[in-house]
A and B are shown apart, each in its own frame.
Chain A
Amino acid sequence: AQTVTQSQPEMSVQEAETVTLSCTYDTSENNYYLFWYKQPPSRQMILVIRQEAYKQQNATENRFSVNFQKAAKSFSLKISDSQLGDTAMYFCAFMKPGANSKLTFGKGITLSVRP
């Protein structure tokens, strides 16, 4: 079975600064997907970024980028130029390939961006 660990329950960052959210996972699979989802106070889950394990290049989406270290089973999210709208819970998630594949979520981290 897969596990996803987000060990930091809360973080805070000053607006315009950079913050990194940590995530580690455990799996015996060689091919899989990793995701970061954002859940703002509205509670709508929003896909932030997706990484395919067979791709060595780290995924980026505008101000969001990941540091994917497959051997270390680490998948951290870097948010650059933090904005007040980035205040949310962030969930790291793992998925095996397959039509009915389930997401395995971490416990989440609450990020607060200070003005």
Chain B
Amino acid sequence: GAVVSQHPSWVICKSGTSVKIECRSLDFQATTMFWYRQFPKQSLMLMATSNEGSKATYEQGVEKDKFLINHASLTLSTLTVTSAHPEDSSFYICSVTPGVAGQETQYFGPGTRLLVL
């Protein structure tokens, strides 16, 4: 499987600040990356799909101005939580896929725990 890293693994911030989370595909070029949010003991909720060099596609109900996604290269996507508030506290996970037909398997990063005080 693919090796995916996320940074940071833990972040605590004050309400009103912005937080950037990086997702890197370490061993293949990821045409497509996905960002998820997960609450404890619940399933993953897809937030957005990002493709290298184009704008992300957000799921219904996800504020695009709140959660800024940039996929500037085939190995890096970033999620910025702008003006974070306590309700944004969650576990954020990215996944990558080669984006090639027949190789649609998603490989996940280790996740980032965000706590907004």
Of residues 64 through 90 on chain A, the ones whose CB sits less than 8 Å from some CB of chain B are 89
Report the count of interface residues on B (CB-CB < 8 A). Answer: 28
Find A108's partner among B43, B46, B93, B100 (CB 8 Å cutoff): B43
Of chain A, the residue at the smallest CB distance from B1 is A47
In the assembly, what is the distance between CA of A99 and CA of B50, in Å? 12
Find A99's partner among B46, B100, B105 (CB 8 Å cutoff): B100
* A102-B46, A103-B46 known; A47 vs B107 contact (CB < 8 Å): yes
Of chain A, the residue at the smallest CB distance from B99 is A99
Report the count of interface residues on A (CB-CB < 8 A). Answer: 25
CB distance from A2 to the nearest CB of B (A): 13
Whether B44 sits at the interface, judged by CB under 8 Å, is yes
Tell me if B105 and A50 are in contact (CB < 8 A).
Answer: yes
Residues of A within 8 A of B38 (CB): 43
* A33-B104, A105-B44, A107-B43 known; A100 vs B32 contact (CB < 8 Å): yes
A-B contact pairs, 14 of them (CB 8 A): A33-B105, A42-B110, A43-B111, A44-B110, A91-B43, A91-B44, A95-B104, A95-B106, A98-B101, A99-B31, A99-B100, A100-B99, A102-B46, A103-B34
